[in-house]
């Protein structure tokens, strides 16, 4: 809506969004019940449309690089707004990817090629969006100090249950009762797993994602295994509260909202 400058300080003025951020709802047991399935789906579709605009319809292509629950703000009607473009990169419409020696982002949302090689593209945002879909449906964080059976992250656990046909066990208890929406839930989990596939070339672009979300009859591809799905806890290990370490001088921020 505007900006202001004073000395070296620069500030952007945004519209006031009274419902805070998405993580305020999906990771809180009391507030989560306020999000029924229709509202969850509306939020998922709204984020997808926002990313599609950034990747394709904006005058300059924008790669956000930090898509996560705390960066999705909610207005009075719970419509999602993508925020915090401090790490975003702009490209001409002909460019699709770039490389950086200084990796910045949030642990648990970073695509593997970005975390290990500094290579980022629109498919990096697609990966983060896939993680976000799973968190919305499951109601738990991908990373942190949670452990899902013998998996250290939500992606491996989700893939494990999906491959065994037990995907319904992933859905948060507050949504399971809406049994007439189970087909939509299954499709969203399928789409999320397509978005978090290990190889960027296997992931859909946001145009494909929006099309898949808007159709109830379109046949969806079967996803390949996600990134990090093999990260498990050795049986002799015990849980630790240590912060995750990083090679290659990666800057990792907390997935929790500020």
3-class SS of residue 246: coil
Length of the chain: 258
- Rounded distance between C-alpha atoms, residue 92 and residue 101, angstroms: 21
SS (H, E, C) 92-151: CCCCCEEECCCCEEECCCCCHHHHHHCEEEHHHHHHHHHHHHHHHHHCCCCCCCCCECCE
- Rounded distance between C-alpha atoms, residue 180 and residue 80, angstroms: 24
Task: State phi, psi for 169 to the nearest 5 degrees.
Answer: -65, -15
Our answer to whether residue 66 is catalytic in this structure is: yes
Q: Which one of the listed residues 23, 28, 66, 208 is annotated catalytic?
A: 66
H or E element that contains 114: helix 112-117
* Beta strand segments in the chain, E: 2-6, 9-13, 61-63, 72-74, 80-82, 89-91, 97-99, 104-106, 119-121, 251-253
- Rounded distance between C-alpha atoms, residue 187 and residue 216, angstroms: 8
Task: State phi, psi for 210 to the nearest 5 degrees.
Answer: -60, -40
Active-site residue set: 66
């Amino acid at each position: 809506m505007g900006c202001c400058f004073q000395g070296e300080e620069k500030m952007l003025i945004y519209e006031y969004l009274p419902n805070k951020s998405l993580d305020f709802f999906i990771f809180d047991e009391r507030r989560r019940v306020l999000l029924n399935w229709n509202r969850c789906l509306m939020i998922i579709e709204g984020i997808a449309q926002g990313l599609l605009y950034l990747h394709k319809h904006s005058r300059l292509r924008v790669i956000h690089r930090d898509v996560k629950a705390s960066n999705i703000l909610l207005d009075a009607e719970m419509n999602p707004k993508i925020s915090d473009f401090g790490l975003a990169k702009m490209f001409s419409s002909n460019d699709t990817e770039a490389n950086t020696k200084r990796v910045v982002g949030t642990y648990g949302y970073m695509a593997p090629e970005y975390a290990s090689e500094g290579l980022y593209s629109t498919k990096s945002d697609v990966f983060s969006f896939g993680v976000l879909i799973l968190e919305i449906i499951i109601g738990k964080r991908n990373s942190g100090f949670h452990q899902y059976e013998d998996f250290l992250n939500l992606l491996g656990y989700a893939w494990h249950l999906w491959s065994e046909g037990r995907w319904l066990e992933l859905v948060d208890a507050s949504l399971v009762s809406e049994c007439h929406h189970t087909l939509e839930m299954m499709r969203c989990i399928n789409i999320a797993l397509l978005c978090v596939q290990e190889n960027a070339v296997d992931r859909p672009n946001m145009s494909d994602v929006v099309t898949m979300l808007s159709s109830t009859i379109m046949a969806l591809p079967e996803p390949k295994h996600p990134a990090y799905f093999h990260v498990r806890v050795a049986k002799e290990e015990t849980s630790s509260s240590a912060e995750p370490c990083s090679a290659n001088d990666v800057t990792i921020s907390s997935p929790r909202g500020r």
